[in-house]
Chain A
Amino acid sequence: MSRTHRVIPGLPLTLGYTLFYLSALVLLPLAALALKAGQMSAPEFFRVITDPVVTASLRLTFFASTLAALINAVFGLIVAWSLVRYDFPLRRLFDAVIDFPFALPTAVAGLTFANLFLKDGWLGGFGPRLVEGVNALAGLTGAGPLLPSGALDWLTFPYTGQTGGIVIVLVFVGLPFVVRTVQPVLLEWDPEYEIAARSLGAKPATIFARVIFPEIAPAWVSGVALAFARAVGEYGSVIFIAANIPGRSQIAPLQIVTRLDDFQYAQASAIGVVLLAISLLILLVINGLESFSRRHERTA
């Protein structure tokens, strides 16, 4: 190592700093968490994590996070593609809007979504609201109500205090990750590859599947992984939109907070440990996928 050229002077210093930084900010708190959970006896630990309410919350967290990550995988890719490949009015504005979920306090996002999707919200009660609006306008012109009340009652979105609503906010908080990881790769993409493929007679679908996608896949997979990880840990927005009924619509982080409120620190830590362990496992698998998609970059 000492014989290779260094761009930043002082490898021992930078490496030391990196290790210290990671230890102090990531490894130490994680160890403390594990230690706290370790204060329980093994049977006690298992009793906590196999509690139906806890397993249901873990299942909901991972199910909703996976679904949200998959939705972001598809639509994030489309958004990134459109922003890079097409020029349309206000493109730069849309591009800037992508970062909103990063900056917006998630509790605000949760509240906003909840209000929109409530029975009386603009989207939740779209049909009845439309009838009201039309009739109010008709009233202004002096005519009677145009539409009988209840005419569009079927045009509502079911109250999304369940999984649906949770997935919606998780899609929201995870959106920027896929877009922002795929975008730079698409920007650097040399159109000559596409022309070459076209000249060889390949059709657009083939060109995307065999030429373009393999190039953006590594970035795309890491973007999806980030969106997934973010969704697993999300708390603020979810608790505002979810009905939070134990065993049905309560996410794992809420379970942890509930235990903390009852001063059951060890139990909270136990759930945290399981949450982390499963996340780690999934992220390892995704990382494996990513390095598989980069296999051609390993040069002999």
Chain B
Amino acid sequence: MTIEIRNISKSYGDNKILQNIDLKIESGELVALLGPSGSGKTTLLRVIAGIEQADEGSGPVLFDDVDVSDVDLGKRRIGFVFQHYALFKHMNVFENIAFGLRAKPRRERPGEAQIREKVQTLLDLIQLGNMAQRYPSQLSGGQRQRVALARALAVEPRVLLLDEPFGALDATVRRELRRWLRRLHDTIHVTTIFVTHDQEEALEVSDRVAVMNAGRIEQYAPPQEVYEKPASPFVFKFLGNYNLFHGRGQSGDGAALVRPHDIVIHRDRDSAGPDARLGLVSHIGFGGPVVKVELETEDKTHVDVEVTTPTFNDLALKRGETVWFALRTQQEYEYDFVI
């Protein structure tokens, strides 16, 4: 199902949470709403769900080109998963998943046998087939998250909305679960929107990323494009570590943003190229596949560089040495933004 929202604004008093948001999501897409806290991403998700109402004067929320702005949350046929899951504590896993089926009006309610079958299918899908009788308090965070997802899927929603789905989990489980979510999405093809503040998560999992800042969408594009062609300094900075160079722009005064891995370290001046500068190795941090090298330039600014471990070994860098460094690529911006 396609989702389209036009000119959505939302404010609490004088506090503008969302400002004139437009967004179109194709059927079967997996889209990430990425942004720092306070950027409005959760509010946008809740407006799409129908949990929150957009301000007067906002445009419509369209599901498959039908305006659902006035359709109640319970009738929008969305599956919503909360950051802290909101599983019903007094119901076991089976009853949690069956809740939406049992809550249907009598005419549409499936029979007990059908409910059992459906719940069992979902339990297998979330790989918790033998945990039907457990209560939420007896499950790990990752298991609860999957139960919450199965509960939302049980009523066959037209769209799946996930609010910081992996926010409360530890790093390993996070990585595992997000890949699982991607595979799940590839199996069931339900249009999915998830909110996250983790750029790695957004880039790895989604088909398209909407980067949000201060109630606006700064860029809406596939992950590779967002990363390689950031539409604004904000997007560039939010998507990873960066170095900022003033006054080095090719088109006059400006600033250049450079990723640490886009800086190349050389031992000798000749191979470094004409724009190379000198830097003193002030710190070396080992990080597995990459080594983080901190350079101190002549004007006492710090430059973060990431080199692969093999390259680092070839260079045989030591603290206190002076080396040449050059920028591989850089993103230039005029001096019209606040750093």
Residues of A within 8 A of B (CB): 190, 192-193, 195-203, 206, 210-211, 214-215, 296-297, 299-300
B90 and A195 within 8 A (CB): no
Q: Is B82 an interface residue (CB 8 A)?
A: yes
- Asked whether B137 is an interface residue with its Cβ less than 8 Å from the other chain, the reply is yes
Cross-interface CB contact of B103 among A190, A200, A299, A300, cutoff 8 Å: A200
Given A199-B49, A202-B103 in contact, is the A297-B73 Cβ separation under 8 Å?
Answer: no
Question: Which of A192, A199, A296, A300 touches B74 (beta carbons < 8 Å)?
Answer: A199
B89 near A215 with CB under 8 A, answer yes
- Enumerate chain A residues within 8 angstroms of B84, measured Cβ to Cβ: 192
B135 & A206 in contact (Cβ 8 Å cutoff): no
Which chain B residues numbered 81 to 108 have a C-beta less than 8 Å away from chain A? Answer: 82, 84, 86, 88-92, 99-100, 103-104
Q: Are B151 and A200 in contact (CB under 8 A)?
A: yes
Whether B99 and A195, one on each chain, are in contact in the complex, defined by CB atoms closer than 8 angstroms, is no
Instruction: Please pick, from B80, B90, B134, B135, the residue contacting A199 in the complex, using a CB distance under 8 A.
Output: B80
A299 in contact with B137 (CB, 8 Å): yes
Contacting pair B138 A300 (CB below 8 A):
yes
Contacts of A200 in B (CB 8 A): 74, 99-100, 103, 151-152, 154-155
Residues from chain B with a CB closer than 8 A to the CB of A210 are 88, 99, 103
Q: B103 touching A296 by the CB < 8 A rule?
A: no
Given contacts A211-B88, A297-B137, contact A195 B103 (CB under 8 A): no
Task: Output the residue of A195, A206, A300 with the most chain B CB within 10 A.
Answer: A195
| A202:B74 contact, CB within 8 angstroms | yes
A188 to chain B, nearest CB (A): 12
Over the window 49-89 of chain B, the binary record of Cβ atoms lying under 8 Å from chain A Cβ atoms (1 yes, 0 no) is 10100000000000000000000111101111010101011
Docked-complex contact A195 and B73, CB < 8 angstroms:
yes
Apart from A192-B84, A199-B80, 15 more pairs, CB < 8 Å? A190-B86, A193-B88, A196-B82, A196-B151, A197-B99, A199-B49, A199-B74, A200-B154, A201-B77, A201-B104, A201-B155, A202-B99, A203-B74, A214-B88, A296-B89
A268 to B310, CA, bound (A): 94
Shortest Cβ gap from A215 to chain B (Å): 7
Q: Which residues of A contact B74 (CB under 8 A)?
A: 198-203
Assembly CA distance A299 to B49 (angstroms)? 33
User: B78 to A199, Cβ gap below 8 A?
Assistant: yes
